[in-house]
Amino acid sequence: MKYKGIIFDLDGVICSTDHYHYLAWKALADRLGVYFDETINNRLRGVSRMASLEIVLERSDKAYGPEEKAAFAEEKNNCYRELLKNMSPADLSPEVKATLDTLRQRGLLLGIGSSSKNTKFILSQIGLGDYFDKISDGTNITRSKPDPEVFLKGAEYLGLAPKDCLVVEDAKAGIEAAAAAGMDSAAIGDAAGCGLATYDLARFSDLLACVD
Ligand code: BG6
Ligand code: MG
C-alpha cells in the first residue's frame, strides 16, 4: 500500500454543497445590493467563511467594519444551515460510499480535512456522522487552505506521518495545501487538471487505482 490514510475534503468531494453556499451568499449579497454570481461563488471553494465574505464584498462600494462583517457572516451561515437541513443520506452518492467502504476494507484510515465549521452537521445530514476515523475542520484551525494546517492536524489526529497520507480535493487551494503539508494529492472536479496534483480523478472511484 502506498498510503496508510486518506484525508478527504468535504464540500465538493464527499458531497455537493456548492449550490447551498451560492444561495446563501446570493441572499446576503442581494440584501446588501452587491453583485454576485456563480463565477464569484467558484472562487470561494476551499476558502474560509470570513475570507469568502471578503471576496463577496469586493464588489461593494461601501466599507464595513469588523462587527458588521461578523454579523454578515453569521447571517449567511444561518441561511446556509437552514438550506443544509434539506440534505439527507440520498445526497451521498452510492459510488462515493462504496469507494470509501472499499478503501476502509483495504486497511486505510479515513479522515476529513475541511475548512468548514459545519463539517459535523453536514456529515450527520448525509448519514456519515460516525463514519470517519478523525475529523480536522474549520473548528480546529487558525489558517485556511492553501495553508497546510488542516491537513497536518488531520494526519496528527490519525496518528500518521504526512508522507503516509493522500489528500483528496476539489479546490486548487486544497491541492496547494496538501503539497505544503508534504502529502500526495488527488484532484477531482474543479481542481482536476490544475497541474499541481499527484493524480487527477475523472470520477471518485478512480481513487482506488491511486492507492494500490
Ligand atoms: C469549504 C468550502 O469547504 O468551507 C468554502 O469550500 C466555505 O466555500 C468553507 O467557505 C467554510 O465553510 P463554513 O461551512 O464554515 O461556512
Ligand atoms: Mg471542497
Q: How far apart are CA 31 and CA 176, in angstroms?
A: 34
Strands (E), 151-195: 165-169, 184-187
Q: What is the pLDDT of residue 61?
A: 95
- Residue 147, all three cell numbers: 495553508
- Report pLDDT digits (tens) over 100-146: 999 999 999 999 999 999 999 999 999 999 999 999 999 999 999 99
Q: What is the pLDDT of residue 97?
A: 98
- Report pLDDT digits (tens) over 79-104: 999 999 999 999 999 999 999 999 99
Check whether 2 has a pLDDT greater than 90: yes
Q: In 3-state terms, what secondary structure has residue 185?
A: strand
So where are the chain's domains? 5-16+89-210, 18-84
Contacts within 8 Å (CB) and 24+ apart, 192-197 = 196/172, 197/169
- Angle between the 49-56 and 18-32 helix axes, to the nearest 10 degrees? 50
Please name which ligand lies nearest the alpha carbon of 188.
2
145 ligand 1 Cβ < 6 A: no
Counting from 1 in the atom list of ligand 1, the atom nearest the Cα of 45 is 6
Counting from 1 in the atom list of ligand 1, the atom nearest the Cα of 9 is 3
Residue 32 confidence class, pLDDT cut points 50, 70, 90: very high
CATH entry 3.40.50.1000 includes domain 5-16+89-210: yes
Give kind and range of the element (H or E) at residue 134. Answer: strand 134-136
Quickly list DSSP for 20-87: HHHHHHHHHHHHHT----HHHHHTTTT--HHHHHHHHGGG-SS---HHHHHHHHHHHHHHHHHHHTT-
Instruction: Kindly list the distances between the CA atom of residue 40 and the CA atoms of 44, 74, 172, in Å, as whole numbers in the listed order.
Output: 7, 20, 15
Strand-pairing partners, residue 166, are: 6, 184
Residue 4 confidence class, pLDDT cut points 50, 70, 90: very high
Q: 18-84: which CATH topology?
A: DNA polymerase; domain 1 (1.10.150)
144 ligand 1 Cβ < 6 A: no
Which of 140, 38, 22 lies closest to 80, judged by CA? 22
Please name which ligand lies nearest the alpha carbon of 12.
2
